[in-house]
Amino acid sequence: MKNQTNTNTHLPNKTKITVKAQSIKLGIDVHADSYRVVRQLDNATPQPAQKFTPKAFLVWAKAQREQAEKVYACYEAGPFGYSLHRELAALGIQNIVVRPQNWDELGKGVKTDKTDALALTQRLDRYVQGNAKALAVIRVPTVAEEQARAASRHREQLREHRQRMEAQGRSLLLYNGQRVQGQWWSARNWPRIATLLAAPLQELLAIWRELILRVTEKLQAATQRLESQAPAAPYGFGALTTRVLQNEVGDWNRFDNRRQVASLTGLCPGVRSSGLKHQTGPITKHGNPRLRRVLIELAWRVVRYQPDYPPVRHWRTVLLTGHAGARKKAVVAIARKLAIDQWRLATKRTTAQALHLKMS
- Global pTM reads 0.84
Please report which confidence band the pLDDT of residue 268 belongs to, taking 50, 70 and 90 as the band edges: very high
Please report which confidence band the pLDDT of residue 329 belongs to, taking 50, 70 and 90 as the band edges: very high
Please report which confidence band the pLDDT of residue 330 belongs to, taking 50, 70 and 90 as the band edges: very high
Taking alpha carbons only, the member of 231, 241, 264 closest to residue 340 is 264
CA–CA gap between residue 310 and residue 353 (Å, rounded): 12
The string of pLDDT tens digits covering residues 335-347 is: 999 999 999 999 9
237-259 mean pLDDT: 95
The string of pLDDT tens digits covering residues 75-119 is: 999 999 999 999 999 999 999 999 999 988 888 888 899 999 999
Please report which confidence band the pLDDT of residue 277 belongs to, taking 50, 70 and 90 as the band edges: confident
Give the residue extent of every domain in the chain: 21-138, 143-228, 239-346
Do the Cβ atoms of 275 and 252 come closer than 8 Å?
A: no
pLDDT value of position 306: 95
Taking alpha carbons only, the member of 45, 42, 40 closest to residue 23 is 42
The string of pLDDT tens digits covering residues 162-195 is: 999 999 999 999 999 889 988 999 999 999 999 9
How high is the mean pLDDT of the chain? Answer: 92
**Percent of the chain topping pLDDT 70:** 95
pLDDT at 303 over 90: yes
21-138 CATH choice from 3.30.420.40, 2.40.340.10, 3.50.50.60, 3.30.565.10: 3.30.420.40
